[in-house]
Amino acid sequence: MERVFAFYRLTHDAEGPQALLEALRSAAASFAEPGCRSSRIWESDDSGDLLLMEEWEKEEDLERHIRTTVFRRLLAVLELSRSAPDVFYVQGARLRGMEWIEEILGR
């Protein structure tokens, strides 16, 4: 199995990135979960974007995470993005987006 990378890009509002950054840090507590190899947040200097990137050992680890209350907090933070957040998952040559979350949570 190939590792899975999760990317979440948000844009802060005119008040600045601090409140959104703190909310994202609080919601991105997945590094302590089994199968999460790393979790990092980057702040763009010029665009106002914040990027959360997570690396997961296996698809099953990320699917388990998506079913947790921790992930639901992350979804709530994504709603705070000034523009529609970009959400995508990369596993090898495979690229998926929000539809994968809906598929997992719909099971």
Which domain range does residue 39 map to? 4-106
Half-sphere exposure of 101 (CA within 13 A, CB side): 16
The CATH code of the domain that includes 73 is 3.30.70.100
Model pLDDT, residue 31: 61
- Given a contact cutoff of 8 angstroms between Cβ atoms, the answer to whether 65 and 6 are in contact is no
pTM: 0.86
- For the chain, the domain total comes to 1
pLDDT in tens, 76-94: 999 989 999 999 999 999 9
Model pLDDT, residue 29: 66
